[in-house]
Chain A
Amino acid sequence: QQQVKQSPQSLIVQKGGISIINCAYENTAFDYFPWYQQFPGKGPALLIAIRPDVSEKKEGRFTISFNKSAKQFSLHIMDSQPGDSATYFCAASTGGFKTIFGAGTRLFVKA
């Protein structure tokens, strides 16, 4: 019940295309859903986060869509760029404690 399932495992997108990464959770106590971006040799960095009281949050080219009834949330990267090539992790926590991460999605954006 503590798991966060993330798909796909890897993703190849053309430059300018839309990258979509999906996550699903079981624990309805989760109330904070951040997304992290990790480049090789670096630690993850917070990209964008959402609380379940909103269905969508947008920051620049990055959008989180949240479906509370389906217990699913997704990250959309619009106009994907080669510099977006990285590993993306969804995560969930209750009150920000004991964050549970998805398995990660390796994104490659072709120039």
Chain B
Amino acid sequence: KAGVTQTPRYLIKTRGQQVTLSCSPISGHRSVSWYQQTPGQGLQFLFEYFSETQRNKGNFPGRFSGRQFSNSRSEMNVSTLELGDSALYLCASSLVAGVYNEQFFGPGTRLTVL
């Protein structure tokens, strides 16, 4: 069974630009969560989608948004990029939302903002 895939793996952008990251969950998984990982802040929850609906949201500004498609694939968008947005963005999928389901993480997208 293929794991969680994230594209692109690496991205370099400049301040003020916007970026879209993509996540394809494991086949059959309907829940997708996004996390931001930085050396200083660790892993921070961004949001979770289930059946195309955002079910939970972390404490990030509105510049961070996402969506989920009918095939469970998810995209995350960051507008007006800031230097502090440089991070590894991780996507995790699970069969259903919550209910103690194991989350399977992708390898992440490394975003560098110059």
A42 to B52, CA, bound (A): 26
Contact stretch, chosen from B13-21, B63-71, B74-82, B103-111: B103-111
Q: When the two chains form their complex, are residues A43 and B98 in contact, meaning their CB atoms are under 8 A apart? A: no
Do A95 and B98 have beta carbons less than 8 Å apart? yes
Interface 0/1 of A87-102, CB less than 8 Å to B = 0010101011111111
How many of chain B's residues touch chain A, expressed as a range?
20 to 34
Judge whether B84 is part of the interface by a CB distance below 8 angstroms. no
A46 at the interface (CB under 8 A from B): yes
Chain A: minimal CB distance from B58 (Å):
7
- List B contacts of A12 (CB < 8 A): none
B101 interface residue (CB < 8 Å to A): yes
Q: Indicate whether B42 reaches chain A with its CB closer than 8 angstroms.
A: yes
User: What's the minimum C-beta distance from B101 to chain A, rounded to whole angstroms?
Assistant: 6
Number of A-B contacts (CB under 8 A): 58
The answer, among A36, A42, A100, A103, for a CB contact under 8 Å with B45, is A100
Cβ-based interface call for B97 (8 A): yes
User: In the complex the two chains form, is B42's CB within 8 Å of A97's CB?
Assistant: no
Give B contacts to A, CB under 8 Å.
4, 33, 35, 42-45, 48, 55-56, 58, 90, 92, 94, 97-108
Can you identify 17 A-B contacts, CB atoms within 8 angstroms? A41-B107, A42-B107, A43-B105, A43-B107, A44-B43, A44-B105, A45-B105, A46-B102, A46-B103, A89-B42, A96-B98, A97-B55, A98-B48, A101-B42, A101-B44, A101-B45, A104-B42
